[in-house]
Amino acid sequence: MSEGPLVSTQWLAEHLDDPSVRAVDCRWYLRPFDTRNGDDEYAKAHIPGAVHARWDTDLADPDRPDLWMLAPPDRFADAMASRGIGDDTFVVTYDDLHVTVAARLWWALRVYGHRSVAVLNGGINKWLTEGRPTDDEVPHYPRAQFTPRYDPSLYATRGDVMAALGTPTRLVDGRMAGAREADGGAIPGSITAPGIEFVAADGTWPRPDEARRRLTAAGACTPEPTIAYCRGGVGACGTALAYAIAGYDDVAVYDGSWTEWITDPDAPRTVDAAPQH
């Protein structure tokens, strides 16, 4: 139903009444930079028919509350099924580009084998700018059957990253420059390509050729296996989305990312400055 990892606002508007399509509002805000609450924003107004899902609660592993890592298969499947998302549902994720949480759900669905998913290009911001409808009704859909089929090629653990050090595997740091500087280090050998920096002022992602050009300029567009990481596992999903737009849809995301990496005092790190753009 979609070419590539994105759908347009026009496409979604034309499919709002299609029972096989489900929009998911993923809005979430990083405090203290933004004090809004995603639940409240959804309750006030959302794309008609959209359900809401939070990456840090609904879709997170309750046994790892310090890291907000991806929910295990049964919990994730229940979150999807209870929202009427089944094996045959085409999912459209959206946010308002505060952070790339729509890309997080796009990645998570693919980790569990659900490839019928795309991100709304421009998010709800573009939708509103175009004068398209919203409502405050919370839809209730019949429970669906969602079968998780774990794809380990898209999910990287700390052990995977450790094993990748010194090999041709490309490590890509998805943190913005300010976050990397604040964190005071990086995983050795990684280059910088924050997914959020691929987004234009109007909230849209670049065309494939432009995404490839920018990845190449960052030294990130190489044929080697690639693992993206960030501070907490969201920004790296934006980086993986940028790769997918460019035509490389096999980038793995290190779920624990820098937050987990630094819990191991023996995990190597470098304090070299982030490349200048």
* pLDDT digits 0-9 by tens, 80-137: 999 999 999 999 999 998 889 999 999 999 999 999 999 999 999 999 999 999 999 9
pLDDT at res. 30: 82
At 2 the pLDDT is: 53
Quick one: pLDDT at residue 165?
96
Close Cβ partners of 268 (under 8 Å, ≥ 6 residues apart): 165, 187, 188
| Catalytically active residues, by annotation | 230
Residue 277's pLDDT is 45
**Is cis: bond before 32, omega within 30 of 0?**
yes
For residue 236, pLDDT over 50 is answered with yes
**Average pLDDT estimate for 63-80:** 94
Mean pLDDT of 1-30: 91
CA 93 to chain CA mean position, Å: 9
**Mean per-residue pLDDT for 161-166?**
96
Q: How far is 207 from 34, CA to CA, in rounded Å?
A: 29
Is beta strand 51-52 parallel, antiparallel or unpaired with respect to 90-94?
unpaired
- Is 177:273 a contact under the CB 8 Å cutoff? no
| Domains of the chain, earliest start first | 6-150 (3.40.250.10), 153-261 (3.40.250.10)
Gap between the Cα atoms of 54 and 76, Å rounded: 12
Q: What is the DSSP string of 117-157?
A: EEEETTHHHHHHHTT---B----------------GGGEE-
**DSSP E strands, the chain:** 6-7, 21-25, 51-52, 90-94, 117-120, 155-156, 170-173, 191-192, 226-229, 252-254
